[in-house]
Amino acid sequence: MPLFKKCDNFTEAKEAQAVGLYPYFHELQSQQDVEVIMEGKRRIMLGSNNYLGLTVHEEVKQAAIEAVQQYGTGCSGSRFLNGTLNLHTQLEKKLAEFLRKEAVITFSTGFQSNLGIISAICGRNDYIISDKENHASIYDGCKLSYAKLLRFNHSDMADLERVLASIPKDAGKLIVTDGVFSMSGDICKLPEMVALKKKYNARLMVDDAHGLGVIGEGGRGTGSYFDLEDEVDIIMGTFSKSLASLGGYMAAKEVVVEYVRHTSRPFIFSASIPPASCAAAMKALEIIEAHPERVERLGQLSNYMKKALNNRNIKIIESPTPIIPIYTKDQLTTLTLAKVIYEAGVYVNPVLPPAAPANECLLRVSLMATHTEALIDESVDIIEAALKDAGLV
């Protein structure tokens, strides 16, 4: 088949656009806040990962501005060579202290973090044991590593043990899991994973992209939530969510960080985080440390919205996170509901294959600590009306 034939055959996007149900690439004309101007109209934002609302915090914005004034707009090189600023090393030190780990290495994006960590730590003779619902970047990191990838059913600890028991005893083994799963909002079964890690002499990596700033003491994430920080060998996370910026990181023992720092090709051969992004993430971290009540407020608002949805008989998955999935079943219904809700003034994320099974599509609602009860009430009214019209309530 000619190389570009697959491009000619790709018609799904145009077909959705033709019937007015294309849900992607809506344009913002305002800041990423609880209320936005999107395509010329006010919308309540219930589809952002800006969990603590810090993208519009004046101190965070000012830190980014001052960094540009001092360091310019970019680093023009890899951290390995000319691209390391004192901002990078300061951020790594502060983040290591916050996460109570020996050391941290930062990457230019969250996706790159998983690519860089997994491909450096694991090799052809190693085994990676991954939850089936892990993020796409974990899957791609596994491919880049050339290690043997074995999957276990989502949060099924009996299946995880079955897989671990099938691996040669002396082989290198890395269990990888999301801490907070980005679509369903549920939390991994970390205590059981730690027990299995010890039983089968494995290492454990937690992708805490949606856990930092959301759960745990002061927002320290999944390990802290279960009081098992010391048992998680590698913590991965991003700056693009609670830390209101762009980038990613790995926290681990210093010897592990130093190894990744000198062997990870995605790290070595990528330009470093721009000064503004680095300074914004550092200021956001300072605010989280100084104001843990933001994390508490996020939890309160999450409980408030879940109670409101339950009172309207709207089916959701219960969890202690601000990610609230509303199951809408098939793809057409989900696209239609997303459009109706959007036109009524609320933005939510439709989750379709491959991010969800074809018969388990959903609307992903996510909250910020800066939402108000009034905005939640308005949103729930709009969501309920749309679901009623679709016969789902």
CA 40 to CA 51: how far, in whole Å? 24
The pair of three-digit structure tokens given for residue 220, joined into one six-digit string: 């320290």
Buried b (16+ CB within 10 A) or exposed e, 344-381: bebbbbbbbeebbeeebbbbbbbbbbbbeeebbeebbe
Tell me if residue 108 is catalytic: no
Catalytic one among 182, 242, 264, 302?
A: 182
Q: Is 173 a catalytic residue?
A: no
CB 92 within 8 A of CB 260: no
CA angle 178, 179, 184 (to 5 degrees): 75
> Taking a C-beta distance cutoff of 8 angstroms, is the pair 205, 141 a contact?
no
232 SS3 class: coil
Q: How far apart are CA 96 and CA 104, in angstroms?
A: 5
- Whether residue 41 lies in the annotated active site: no
Q: Are 209 and 241 in contact (CB under 8 A)?
A: yes
Per the residue annotation, which of 210, 283, 306, 371 is the catalytic one? Answer: 210
Among the options 57, 135, 241, 283, which is catalytic?
Answer: 241
Amino acid at 393: V
Alpha carbon distance 193, 232 (integer Å): 10
Residues assigned a catalytic role = 182, 210, 241
